[in-house]
Each structure stands twice: as structure tokens, then as C-alpha cells.
Amino acid sequence: MTFRQPALPGILLALALPALAACGDSGTVTAPAMEPEPATGAPASGTVPDERPDANLEDRRNAVATVLHEHTAIMAADAFEGRAPATPGGRMTIDYLTGQFSALGVGPGNGDSYRQQVDVVEIIATTEPVLQFSGSFDASPAYKSEMVIGSRHHASPVVVEDSEVVFVGYGIVAPERGWNDYANVDAAGKTVVVLVNDPGYATQDPDLFNSNAMTWYGRWVYKFEEAARQGAAGILIVHETGPAGYGWDVVDNSWSGPQITLAAENDNAHLADIEGWITRETAEALFAAAGMDYEGMKAAAAEPGFSAVPLGNIRASMSVETSVRGSSSHNVIAAIPGSARPDETIIYTAHWDHLGMVEGMEGDNIWNGAVDNATGTAALLALAELYLNEPAPPERSVVFLAVTAEESGLLGSQWYTENPVYPIATTVANINMDALNPWGRVRDIVVIGYGSSELEDYLTDAAFSQDRIIVPEPTPERGFYYRSDHFNFARAGVPSLYAEGGTDSREHGNEWGVEQSEDYVANRYHAPGDEYDPEWDLTGAAEDVLLYFEIGKRLANDSVWPQWYEGNEFKETRDASAAARE
């Protein structure tokens, strides 16, 4: 899910923190909107399927809710040990899903197999990582409380010795926006200090980046990639809760245990040697020692034309010792072949993995991941059953893809889009499900990345039949759009929809719904307390599943290809694949 993610001893998680949210990362638990307002400005998609709310909705949602309860209870049980990839609990989950799809009568989606192998590398720190500053700042920030660093290199030890420390602002190179934070510095061999998010968020300037809404340039994943392209030996992102969208505890938990990455032929030698985070307090002390005011430098970095600044005579030395082990997990793929255009596909996604368990830990040592994301995985099975109950098969193929390692950095969906079973060019759309609503029916459905594609028009029409409205996500500055598995499909050009039930409870009102969301985030999100409760009201989640079904069914029985809206960053990629399709 998109609020990310504790990686604890014995849990396979990516060195990449898919962050709070999630890929996660992984679903978003959407930050509550205090007063949901109807979305405006999205073009209508044409004929509305019904002129009134669905008269049979109650029976249908109750039936779907029963299915969701059944599968969620099983996959979130202690016996599944938190569903971490490449663990007994992970293998049990894969077996369960393949068995359930087979029992339903949905065929394998990868030739004659339900499985797609995903090769990963587990990296475990064997000693405590060390960061030592020298020069005018003679300090060694404490691991976990003041800094968290690691390395995705497969070789060990990884050492950065006596490297110059340079502040490169937001660490962004965006030629189309006339922005280059690395323009006046040779970062090769240096340790770069970088701010989280982007200048649009910092200034709220509507003409700068996407103003309050985070862009891809604001994500920590991009910043790591760009630092590596610039030849930096190390990168340290300054954590601040506001622009990051999550607290330091998420950074600490997500980076301090075993990590996994996708297997790479060059052993990840193309990445920076050391990647990590420092607290704001550590950054303030670092800048003060260099004779600079942190707040003043942060303000300067948000202005066009900012130039990178060496932090005086300060140097950084870092070291990480690891053990590296190759392993594999699996995506699970099932499919209903299309009757007329089987080569064209609609792909539903949900990640089956969660955070696993810690052997020997006192108390509750299993991160069950009931909401995140046993609910979304259960929805794949519920959707498959809905399609099988239709009087005729869909004209296009419908694929149910349960991906692994979302909590490790959207790795399963990344592997799939880089090694697609069904060609990306003929993938019509992706509909993603991550952390469904367990608190009952709501009036609103929140669109993550609102204003992206014509799939929102399909959602609007489907929501009308349930007497619901769609609303934009209330906190676009947190970059949730980049934190779940739909994002890898979007990067490949496939129009992708990620929407989820909001907070405006039909029974209790919006204030109550906000309280439930906040309570979950504070007390159960990415914690052992995310456990299945048979008292959950999953009728709201079931209504969401029925929305996803209506959208997919409509696409599957049409010849239309939904498009990204003009100006979307992924439209050019899709246009190129459309040309290849013709």
C-alpha cells in the first residue's frame, strides 16, 4: 500500500522506501478530506449506463462483501505469517491464490501456469551502517534515530570515504521545465544532500512544477536515480514530515531491516554506493556547521536558477557491510480469454504481499496486512467470480494479476511491466486495488492522481449508478499516485486507474469516517494491529469492487481505447505504443 512501510528483521523489503503512504511504494490509505467535494472538470464519457441507482445493488454488494470477508480472513490469518515474499507465508499465499483461481474455473494467465517468477536479491546489513562527518562538522549521526543509510550494491563492503558534501537543492533535472539542480556542480564521487518533494510544493506557486501536487521529480525514487546518473557516491535526503507525507518512523522501519531489489545483471553497480536519509535536525546542524541557515538554503533551492552549494569543508565517510542472497518470488496471473479480441487485455492488479513476521520478537510479531492488502487481493477473486457469472465471456481478455513485493518498492509490478506476459501496446487499461475500505458504505470515491485519464469518465458513470460522487485526492502533495502498482503500468503508457472509497460515511457522516481513517493510520497501518476483524462492514468495499467490475466489463466489451488526458506525462509513451499497435 502506499503509506510505506516497516521493514523489520526477517522481513524482505526493498532498500527503496516506497513511503507513506505507499508501492507502495504500496494502496493508499487516503489522507482524509475534511469535506469531500464533487470532482469537477472531468469530461463526461458519454452515455450513462443507468438513469437511476442500481436497484439490485444491495443484493450484489452483500454477496461481494461475503466473498471479501472469506478470502481476507484466510490471507490475513497468522498461519500466513504476514505474507512476506520468499518466505513460507509468501509461498502459502501464492498456493492459495492459484488454488482459488483454479477452483473458480479461471484459467492460468501465463501460458499453462498461474505463476510468473520474479527474481530478487535479498540484502541484509551484517553490521550497523556508519555515517561520519568530518571537517567543521565532526559528528556521527546515530543510526535509526538521526540517519538511516544502506546500499543496493550486491558487493560488500560498500564504502564511501572522505567525500565532499554538496547541497543540490531538490536534486532535479527537468529540461522541459528549465530546471537543473546539478547544472553547476560535478557530483561525481561526492555525497549530495537533497530535499524531499519539489519546488512546486515548497512555494505553492501554481506556475511552478504542479504547485501543491507532487510530481515524479518529488519522489525519493527519482532523486536516487538522478543522483546515480550524476555519478554521486552517496545521497542523503533530508526528511521532513510535511513534504514527505510520512513520519521519520516510516523511514526508520522501512530501511533498517533486510531489503530486496530486483535482480540486476550488473549487481546494481549503476546505483549510488550509499543511499539514505537524515533527519531535519541533523540537516540543520550540518548546515549550521557550514555557516549556512538551513531554512534560508531551502528557500533558495525552491527558486529558479538555484546553484548547488558545497557545504564548506565538510566531508562524509559512510560504510555498509551486507550479506547478499538471491531468491525469487512469484506474481500470480489468471485470465479469462476474450471471445472476440483476446489479444487485447484489461488488467486488474492488487499486491498480495505484506511485511511478514519477526522470529523471537515478544508479543504480536506478525504483520498480518489485513486491510493492506488482503482486502485488495480478495477483490481480485471476487472480480473473477463476477466475470464468470456473466451470461457471456468478455470480448477482450480480462487478466487478474496479484503481484509480489509491492511493499518492497513496487517490484512485482515493475517486473511484470518489464517482462509483460501480455504486450503493453495491447493492454487497454489497468485497474489497481490497494487497501479497501472496511468501515461501510461511503458517498465518495477518491481518485488518486485525479485528472489523468479517460478512465475517470468511466468511473464517474459507474459511480452514478451507486448514487456516489468522485473526488480528487485531498493530499496530492504526498505523491500517492507514484506509490502503488498502477504506477508501473502508467510509466509504461497504460492508462491506469487507482481509486478507493473515501471518508463520507452514509451511516455516520464524514467526521466519523475521517476518525476511522486517522485511527487506522495511527494504530494499525504497517503494524501488527492490521488484523482481520469479522465485525468489519465490507459493504463499502464491495461497492468499490462493483465499480471496478462495471468499468472493466464496459471496456472488455467495447473496442474503445481510453486515453490519457492532454498534458499528462505518460501520454507520449501511450501514443507511441498506439502507433505500433496500428
Range 57-120+328-581: architecture per CATH: 3-Layer(aba) Sandwich (3.40)
- Which of 28-32, 73-77, 275-279, 575-579 bottoms out in mean pLDDT, i.e. has the lowest? 28-32
Specify the DSSP class assigned to residue 46: S
The CATH 3.50.30.30 domain(s) of the chain lie at 127-320
Say if domain 127-320 classifies as CATH 3.50.30.30. yes
- How far is Cα 95 from Cα 115, in angstroms, rounded to an integer? 10
- Which of 233-242, 248-257, 327-336 bottoms out in mean pLDDT, i.e. has the lowest? 248-257
Burial class (CB in 10 A: 0-12, 13-18, 19+), 43: exposed
- How far is Cα 392 from Cα 399, in angstroms, rounded to an integer? 16
- How far is Cα 570 from Cα 572, in angstroms, rounded to an integer? 6
Q: For a pLDDT cut of 70, what percent of the chain falls above it?
A: 90
- Which of 48-57, 228-237, 316-325 bottoms out in mean pLDDT, i.e. has the lowest? 48-57
- How far is Cα 78 from Cα 63, in angstroms, rounded to an integer? 26
Q: Please, how many CA atoms are within 13 Å of residue 338, restricted to the half-sphere of its CB?
A: 24
Largest CA distance in the chain: 75
- How far is Cα 308 from Cα 165, in angstroms, rounded to an integer? 11
* pLDDT at 426 (0 to 100): 97
Q: Please, how many CA atoms are within 13 Å of residue 499, restricted to the half-sphere of its CB?
A: 33
| For the chain, counts of helices (H) and of strands (E) | 15, 21
Q: Each residue of 276-286: pLDDT tens digit?
A: 999 999 999 99
Burial class (CB in 10 A: 0-12, 13-18, 19+), 534: exposed
Quick one: which H or E segment has residue 350?
strand 341-351
Residue 48 in this model has a pLDDT that exceeds 90 = no
Strand partners, 336: 398
Mean model confidence pLDDT for the chain: 89
Whole-Å CA distances, 388 to 335, 395, 553: 11, 13, 11
The CATH 3.40.630.10 domain(s) of the chain lie at 57-120+328-581
Residue 201: pLDDT band with limits 50, 70, 90: very high
Averaged pLDDT, 9-15 = 28
Q: Can you tell me whether residue 52 is helix, strand or coil?
A: coil
Q: Can you tell me whether residue 224 is helix, strand or coil?
A: helix
Residue 43 in this model has a pLDDT that exceeds 70 = no
Averaged pLDDT, 159-186 = 95
Residue 310 in this model has a pLDDT that exceeds 80 = yes
- Which of 127-141, 240-254, 299-313 bottoms out in mean pLDDT, i.e. has the lowest? 240-254
Q: For a pLDDT cut of 90, what percent of the chain falls above it?
A: 74
The three grid cell numbers given for residue 4, joined into one nine-digit string = 510505506
Give the pTM. 0.81
- Which of 25-29, 154-158, 439-443 bottoms out in mean pLDDT, i.e. has the lowest? 25-29
- Cα angle: 408, vertex 380, 343; to 5 degrees: 95
* pLDDT at 265 (0 to 100): 82
User: Cell 554521486 sits at which residue?
Assistant: 232
* pLDDT at 287 (0 to 100): 98
Strand partners, 347: 399, 430
- Which of 257-266, 310-319, 522-531 bottoms out in mean pLDDT, i.e. has the lowest? 257-266
Averaged pLDDT, 103-114 = 98
